[in-house]
Amino acid sequence: MNRDDALALLYEYTKTDQLRRHGLSVEAVMRAAARRHGGDEETWGIVGLLHDFDYESYPDQHPMAGKPILEQRGYPDEVIYAIQCHADFTGYERRSPMDKMIFAVDELTGFVIACTLVKPNKSLAEVEPKSVRKKLKDKSFARAVLREDIYKGAEELGVDLDEHIAFVVEALKPVAAEIGLNP
């Protein structure tokens, strides 16, 4: 298991730039979380990169459709399990810090990016937790984002929501250009 193979798998099943950028952004946040929490950066990053790889090909069966693909390609059980954990409806119990983190950063990462894209300079430097929380209350903004998952994710991690938002913003800065933003 390595990043190059995971990236090739993402590109094989995911054709839109938007969903590819989402995978890259969640990968960056998961890598930062691994560094912060003493996890294996490569493993956590691959979970972030691949958590939605099957979504475009199997939207009604995601993320379960990806499980046999990952198994067939020899991905470790902990990676496959964590990917299943990022969707509440799968019923997988989030046991490890990696399982909890992928759930906690998936929706929030997308939401932070949406908040950044409406800023004048499309810069992460313009995004503050207070403004993100305000946008969370606006149900018409980024309406596809599951807000309850954002709140539940921070709660399961045992972190303050503002602190969690700030962490995600900082973790995205190194990949800002790659995902269509300014640092």
Beta bridge partner(s), residue 182: 123
Question: Helix axis angle, 97-117 relative to 41-50, nearest 10°?
Answer: 60
Q: How far is Cα 117 from Cα 114, in angstroms, rounded to an integer?
A: 5
- pTM strictly above 0.85: yes
Q: Residues 6 or more apart from 27 whose CB is under 8 A from it?
A: 45, 46, 48, 49
Q: Contact 169/109 with Cβ under 8 angstroms? A: no
**Domain boundaries defined on the chain:** 3-171+175-179
- Secondary structure class of 123 (helix, strand, coil): strand
pLDDT per residue as tens, the chain (183 positions): 899 999 999 999 999 999 999 999 999 999 999 999 999 999 999 999 999 999 999 999 999 999 999 999 999 999 999 999 999 899 999 999 999 999 999 999 999 999 999 999 999 999 999 999 999 999 999 999 999 999 999 999 999 999 999 999 999 999 999 999 998
Q: Does domain 3-171+175-179 match CATH 3.30.460? A: no
